[in-house]
């Protein structure tokens, strides 16, 4: 990895972590998109998992006072089940599936969730959210919008939403790293060192994003989240359809 690429990755990690710190998602989508240009699919997902685990983990730590531990424990059980199922089926990712899968994901944030009445504070819904989070994170690398539809209409304020989502995303990324460990273990030494150096930069971005989050209103938070995620998803979908054609 050249110095220019390393600097570019460091800047990308900071900016994407900043976005995730504000909206709880979007940053991971952009980071994975960049990594897919540099590495094979499995390796890109694993590297993104390492960086996002640091980013989400630091965001969860900064907001730890707002974590809903009851909901988190149920979410974790869903993630664990999906990871076991994908492992037993020997799932292998493909670039087209990842691009189109992530590209279609923003549709979820436009669903009439009021009619669906999804609510992460309900145990059965929290389990389903964890199940989908684990499945999507491992299969296509990200799951932010999938989890968001279970949180965006709850009575929780934005800080509790971000804190609890960051916690489950941290654990989902950990499961993803374990799933793709074989691909990550073959990463060249220079690239591995670059990732380890760039990962802590995610903490700086997450902290800066958390500061901006505290100044936003709940209404602006929800509105901007939809449009940012939709824009990123459109890029993924276009690229995936072009490769399919």
Report how many domains make up the chain. 1
Give me the residues of the chain with pLDDT under 70, please. Answer: 1-3, 5, 21, 23-25, 109, 112-114, 144, 152-153, 218-223
Task: Provide the residue range defining the domain that includes 181.
Answer: 3-244
The burial class, CB within 10 Å (0-12 / 13-18 / 19+), for 90 is: exposed
Tell which residue, 131, 120, 108, has the closest CA to residue 160.
120
Contact 28, 16 (CB under 8 A): yes
Residue 242 CB neighbour total at 10 angstroms: 10
pLDDT of residue 128: 93
pLDDT of residue 114: 65
Extended beta strands in the chain, E state: none
Contact 56, 170 (CB under 8 A): yes
Residue 156: what are its φ and ψ, rounded to 5°?
Answer: -70, 145
Question: Looking only at Cα atoms, what is the longest distance across the chain?
Answer: 51
pLDDT of residue 2: 60
pLDDT of residue 62: 82
pLDDT of residue 150: 83
pLDDT of residue 211: 75
């Amino acid at each position: 990895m050249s110095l220019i690429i390393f600097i570019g990755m460091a800047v990308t990690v900071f900016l994407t972590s900043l976005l995730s710190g504000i909206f709880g998602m979007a940053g991971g989508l952009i980071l994975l998109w960049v990594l897919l240009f540099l590495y094979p699919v499995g390796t890109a997902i694993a590297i993104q998992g390492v960086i996002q685990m640091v980013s989400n983990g630091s965001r969860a730590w900064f907001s730890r006072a707002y974590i809903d531990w009851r909901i988190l424990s149920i979410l974790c059980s869903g993630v664990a089940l999906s990871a076991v199922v994908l492992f037993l089926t020997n799932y292998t990712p493909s670039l087209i599936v990842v691009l189109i899968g992530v590209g279609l994901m923003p549709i979820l944030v436009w669903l009439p969730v009021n009619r669906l009445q999804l609510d992460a504070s309900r145990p059965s819904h929290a389990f389903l959210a964890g199940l989908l989070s684990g499945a999507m994170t491992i299969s296509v690398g990200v799951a932010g919008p999938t989890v968001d539809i279970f949180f965006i209409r709850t009575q929780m304020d934005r800080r509790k939403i971000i804190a609890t989502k960051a916690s489950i995303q941290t654990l989902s990324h950990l499961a993803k790293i374990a799933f793709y460990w074989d691909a990550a273990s073959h990463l060249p030494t220079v690239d591995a060192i670059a990732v380890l150096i760039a990962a802590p930069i995610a903490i700086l971005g997450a902290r800066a994003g958390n500061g901006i989050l505290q100044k936003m209103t709940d209404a602006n938070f929800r509105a901007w989240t939809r449009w940012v995620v939709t824009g990123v998803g459109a890029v993924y979908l276009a690229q995936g359809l072009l490769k399919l054609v």
